[in-house]
């Protein structure tokens, strides 16, 4: 396993990071989730990413249980705050990045994770309703209290990163990371977010490097999606993946198979290795519903893709890559492929 610095900080993280969105506390049984965490540790992964909203708090609880007994200093635990968590009815301050919600959020996360601090606390989205000064001051106080060592964000635009970093530095800390979606198919951060991040000392921890599983090659034209796959998950997974489940995208993705075969790696390993070629990417987040999936994806660590391979990938996907900086992970697609 290779390790990379996160932003301009001294924090080293495993370039393959284990994430438990859509799995722990929901899609897989706790015993399997714990086995997946152990498999991650066995394969050299030291960095674990979660969020308070995943499975309405259950994902943090499962991760905390799975890491029990592991030397705390040997792992890096990341979590996030923004969305409402807990029993209904939700209150008016249960969403966003107000000081009230952030302070309550960190306390809840620490309790569920069974730890005194998190290594990275992230703003899960940008809050247009709360003054940015209030949000940054709350994060500064959390760092000073020792409840979080570093602060990051998720899915922030280039301008939001600029404004946030300016205020953070005025308050005595720095934003060191952004967590956007990024893959061979989803490249919206390349035009603005990455150049801005490089200038600000911020690096990317990217989610969905496999494009919801499409880049594994397991989805084929005219064939039923495999049982239990993301495309069959009616609890949110199918909605996330549908923008990629088109004739043109699936056809282009199959052109990557001979490239992977020539390199002696799987298509999933090719996809993970591809995002790690970007010098502004510190880690690729992988999930798993079975322990053996982790061992396979970890093989992408330290894999170097030659320039001609990168060009062949671009050629294969040229007319299906989503590049518009205005696209967001939850937006209605404006770039459509039939």
Tell me the CA distances in angstroms from 267 to 205, 255, 317, one per residue in order.
21, 10, 14
Tell me the CA distances in angstroms from 156 to 64, 141, 185, 204, 316, one per residue in order.
27, 21, 19, 11, 29
Does residue 283 contact residue 15 with C-beta atoms inside 8 Å? yes
Secondary structure element (H or E) that encloses residue 123, with its range: strand 118-123
Please state the φ and ψ torsions of residue 81, each to the nearest 5 degrees.
Answer: -140, 140
Active site residue 54: yes
**In 3D, which of 337, 202, 189 has the Cα closest to residue 275?**
189
Mapped onto helix, strand or coil, the DSSP state of residue 78 is strand
Q: Quote the CA–CA distance of 106 and 58 in Å, as a whole number.
A: 15
Residues 6+ apart with CB under 8 A from 225: 219, 231, 232, 245
Count the Cβ atoms, other than its own, within 10 Å of residue 202: 28
Q: Quote the CA–CA distance of 55 and 260 in Å, as a whole number.
A: 34
Helices (H) and strands (E) in the chain, counts: 12, 10
Tell me the CA distances in angstroms from 268 to 151, 253, 287, one per residue in order.
30, 11, 12
Q: Which of 18, 54, 150, 219 is catalytic?
A: 54
Mapped onto helix, strand or coil, the DSSP state of residue 19 is strand
Tell me which residues are annotated as active site. Answer: 54
């Amino acid at each position: 396993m290779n390790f990379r610095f996160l932003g301009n900080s001294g924090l080293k993280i495993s370039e393959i990071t284990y994430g438990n969105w859509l799995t722990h506390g929901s899609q897989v049984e706790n015993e399997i989730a714990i086995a997946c965490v152990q498999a991650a540790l066995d394969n050299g992964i030291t960095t674990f990413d979660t969020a308070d909203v995943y499975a309405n708090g259950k994902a943090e609880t499962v991760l905390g249980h799975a890491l029990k007994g592991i030397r705390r200093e040997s792992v890096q635990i990341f979590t996030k705050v923004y969305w409402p968590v807990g029993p209904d009815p939700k209150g008016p301050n249960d969403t966003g990045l107000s000081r009230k919600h952030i302070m309550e959020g960190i306390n809840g996360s620490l309790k569920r994770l069974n730890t005194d601090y998190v290594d990275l606390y992230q703003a899960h989205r940008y809050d247009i309703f709360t003054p940015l000064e209030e949000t940054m001051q709350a994060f500064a106080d959390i760092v000073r209290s020792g409840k979080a060592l570093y602060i990051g964000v998720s899915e922030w635009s280039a301008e939001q990163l600029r404004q946030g970093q300016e205020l953070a530095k005025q308050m005595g800390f720095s934003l060191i990371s952004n967590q956007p979606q990024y893959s061979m198919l989803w490249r919206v951060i390349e035009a603005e977010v990455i150049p801005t991040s490089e200038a600000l000392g911020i690096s990317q921890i990217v989610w969905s490097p496999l494009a919801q599983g499409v880049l594994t090659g397991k989805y084929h034209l005219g064939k039923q999606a495999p049982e239990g796959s993301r495309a069959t998950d009616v609890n949110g997974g199918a909605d996330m993946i549908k923008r990629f489940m088109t004739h043109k995208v699936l056809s282009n993705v199959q052109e990557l198979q001979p490239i992977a075969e020539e390199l002696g790696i799987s298509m999933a390993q090719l996809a993970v290795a591809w995002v790690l070629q970007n010098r502004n990417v510190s880690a690729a987040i992988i999930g798993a519903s079975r322990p053996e999936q982790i061992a396979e994806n970890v093989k992408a660590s330290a894999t170097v893709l030659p320039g001609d391979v990168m060009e062949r990938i671009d050629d294969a996907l040229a007319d299906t890559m989503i590049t518009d900086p205005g696209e967001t992970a939850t937006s209605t697609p404006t770039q459509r492929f039939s």
